[in-house]
Amino acid sequence: MNIYLSIIYLVATVTFITGLKLLGHPDTAKKGNQIAAGGMGLAILGTILLHDLEVPGFVYGLIGGAILLGGIIGYVIAIKVKMTKMPELVSLFNGFGGASAALIGLVEFGQNSGEISQTVTILAAIAIGSLTFSGSMIAWAKLNGTLWKDIRLPKYNLINNVVLLAIIAYATYMVFTGTGSLVFAVILLLSGLLYGVLLVIPIGGADMPVVISLLNSLTGIAAAITGILYDNMVMLAGGILVGSAGLILTFAMCEAMNRSLINVMFGAFGSTEVGGDEHHAQTTGTVKKATVSDVAILMNYAQRVIFVPGYGLAVAQAQHAIHELEQLLENKGVEVKYAIHPVAGRMPGHMNVLLAETNVEYDKLAEMEDVNPEFQNTDVVLVVGANDVVNPAARNDTSSPIYGMPILDVDMAKQIIVNKRSMNPGYAGIDNELFYNQKTSMLFGDAKTTIQALISELKGM
């Protein structure tokens, strides 16, 4: 390899690591993203201009055209995508990364020299890349609402395990027989696509943050495998960083739900068919309704208020309104915080990203472990669009599907206001005991419209 290209790859790898470090804090996240993107751009240019291969001139035109087209599409998507659609976008990006690895594996399969190590690498790229692509597409369809029902075949775990073992056995056969037929590789590709569908399709919406994080990790692993295949250190380093970060985040999400990764992937929790209607029928009580004026009076005379954002806040695009409400209350001398559950929303860190868009101070975002002891000394809690992460059934009801999951202890506050469109259960498909708490008042309506009305009411006091 050209010594200058090696230096460029080293610099690019350093930018990846630096960028990943800076992404750990909202104040430096934008800078970290720019640094890492700059490193990737440098690596791409270095590869194109300093490679040791002899290629026809028109190939540079194809590469340039592909980069230009992909750059334009990516820019337009990034500019136009709504924050509510960010989880779907992440799923699509994961899928495209997996598809790229699978296609690279197919291309290289026909040029395989026959070495066992190279064959293993190629087949791993095809299998992991294809299952990541199909699994990500199913996750996208679930998040987008296109696939609204969780589909579980009879004995689905047994079927999934049989398919997985069959793929491993088939790939092993290909390695030791040394077959060079592209038909065999295509069969492996199709098998990977099938397994990705079977793996994700029974998983319910409540587990989507974990699924997205795991698929993101698999995309990184696929990229690392292609780096090994091409002896490309920057692809290898980048893939390892994405894969390891994704795995760490995956296990962090599982810990936040007090469940194992195996249980998440094979337990079909969060399905509307698992304990949904039955648990809903067991939860009864009186629901109190509140008006905007009632809530405004409570907040106006409160000393401490905590906001609990959920996916409903994102759907209503109410992040700017709630930030304005926060500033208004602080001007009245009220202490305001945001309680952030690790799995609130549809992807890891969804609420943090949503609120960062409105320039909410990072210090006001309190993690679950830090904020839970403060609820008992809080005058008013405003829950906006959050369901499962505030459901006391996780502590009180051993028959509940979410029993044992750490939640935000909002029921410990003096007054609880829940802003929702209706009494429908959350994405996990189970009813919420909090709605029937004597201290809870339901403030029905669109989050953005309701919060704006609340702001107007408070300004008149």
Least confident range of 27-41, 343-357, 400-414: 343-357
How far is CA 375 from each of CA 258, 261, 295, 420, rounded to the nearest angstrom?
21, 30, 18, 21
Catalytic annotation, pick one of 150, 388, 409, 431: 388
Q: Is the pLDDT of residue 23 over 90?
A: no
Q: Is the pLDDT of residue 406 over 70?
A: yes
Q: Give me the mean pLDDT over the 92-102 stretch.
A: 91
Q: Give me the mean pLDDT over the 166-174 stretch.
A: 94
pLDDT digit string, tens, across residues 132-158: 999 999 988 887 777 766 677 778 788
**Percent of the chain scoring above 90 in pLDDT:** 46
User: At residue 186, what is the residue type?
Assistant: V
Distance of CA 429 to the CA centre of its chain: 19
Q: Give me the mean pLDDT over the 392-396 stretch.
A: 88
Confidence grade of residue 88 (pLDDT, cut at 50, 70, 90)? confident
Average pLDDT value over all residues in the chain: 86
Q: Pick the closest to residue 173 from 190, 185, 159 (CA basis).
A: 185
Q: Determine the 3-state secondary structure of 237 from DSSP.
A: helix
Q: What pLDDT sits at residue 295?
A: 94
Q: What pLDDT sits at residue 220?
A: 92
User: Order of strands across the sheet with 380-384?
Assistant: 365-367, 335-340, 304-309, 380-384, 415-420, 440-444
pLDDT digit string, tens, across residues 298-333: 999 999 999 999 888 888 889 999 999 999 999 999
Q: Is the pLDDT of residue 205 over 80?
A: no
Q: What pLDDT sits at residue 56?
A: 84
In degrees, rounded to 5, the angle at the alpha carbon of residue 148 between the alpha carbons of residues 147 and 150 is: 90
The segment with the largest mean pLDDT, out of 22-26, 85-89, 208-212, 444-448, is 444-448
Is residue 52 among the annotated active site residues?
A: no
The segment with the largest mean pLDDT, out of 108-117, 181-190, 395-404, is 181-190
Show the DSSP H helices in 257-410 as ranges: 261-266, 276-282, 292-300, 311-315, 319-331, 350-356, 368-371, 393-396
As a dihedral over the C-alpha atoms of residue 357, residue 363, residue 364, residue 369, rounded to 10 degrees, the angle is 110
Comparing 90 with 111, the larger pLDDT belongs to 90
Structure tokens at 57: 């001139």
Q: Give me the mean pLDDT over the 175-193 stretch.
A: 90
Q: What pLDDT sits at residue 413?
A: 95
Confidence grade of residue 274 (pLDDT, cut at 50, 70, 90)? very low
- Distance (Å, whole) CA 329 – CA 309: 17
pLDDT digit string, tens, across residues 275-305: 334 344 445 678 899 999 999 999 999 999 9
- What is the pTM assigned to this prediction? 0.76
